[in-house]
Amino acid sequence: QDMNPIALSATQKVHFTFAGNVGKVQNLENIVNAFQLLPKNYKEKTQLNIIGDGSNLENIRLLSGNCSNIVFYGKKSREEMASFYKSSNFLIVSLVDKPIFSSTVPGKLQTYIAAKKPILAIINGETADIVSDNNLGISVDPSNVGLIKEVFEKCIDMPENEKSEFVINNAKLLETTFNKDSIINKMTSQLTGCNDWMMKCLITGSTGFIGNRLLGLLKTIKCDVRLLGKSKVSNYETVVCNLGQD
């Protein structure tokens, strides 16, 4: 759905937006600390938007103090998020620097690619490689607050033609590697060839990138499906947990 951009500030600024679960593993402490280190002349030109809620939200609010350029919007619907993405200059994907997350690609990466905005990947591993290898934005070590601050400055100073190149590359990747129809068709072909034996699947993020279409497909074959998520999904056995804490 095509939505109009939302006014994130009264004056024109460079907007960095983080959207999603605000838990410990999202590494917002280092992001906020780095943003707070920006010199005054940079701070005046930018705003950090945090959209979502979670177990660590109150700590991040306290850490942000009275900084007027860090704005919290609370939880928004998927439909509303399109307006926030459209008004943003950079979308932030982040996780703490732990080996378990090096091979993790957060579902929001596909969402950000679909939004066709430059991506600021404050993360190591597979996600950083996708962003760097496909020139979708900038990646930086999530454990180095000084480097994160320098990357904020680089993004604020970035000319429009460089940002436009990131946008074009996101659009290209959306039509190829991250094309939903292509992925579903490939998975359908692979999974339907397994219907002569019982298969067990544990699925996380069942309402995300592949979502209900995958669940519908698995229903048609001999597959024991269990879901892992923050809330119960009707008609499926669900292991309820907070992936940011448990």
| pLDDT above 70 coverage of the chain, percent | 77
Min mean pLDDT across 21-35, 75-89, 143-157, 230-244 is at 230-244
Count of other CB atoms within 10 angstroms of residue 32: 24
For 156-186, how does the pLDDT look when each residue is reduced to its tens digit (9 = 90+)?
Answer: 999 999 999 999 999 999 888 776 666 667 6
204, pLDDT greater than 70: no
* Averaged confidence pLDDT in the chain: 86
pLDDT of residue 194: 60
Task: Tell me: pLDDT of 246 over 50.
Answer: no
Q: Across 23-152, where does the E strand assignment appear? A: 46-51, 70-74, 90-94, 119-122, 137-140
Alpha-carbon distance of 163 to 15, in angstroms, equals 13
Strand order in the sheet with 119-122: 70-74, 46-51, 14-19, 90-94, 119-122, 137-140
Task: Output the pTM of the full model.
Answer: 0.78
Residues 11-27 have a mean pLDDT of 96
pLDDT at 199 over 90: no
Check pLDDT > 90 for residue 122: yes
Top pLDDT among 206 and 231 is at: 231
Structure letter (DSSP) for residue 183: H
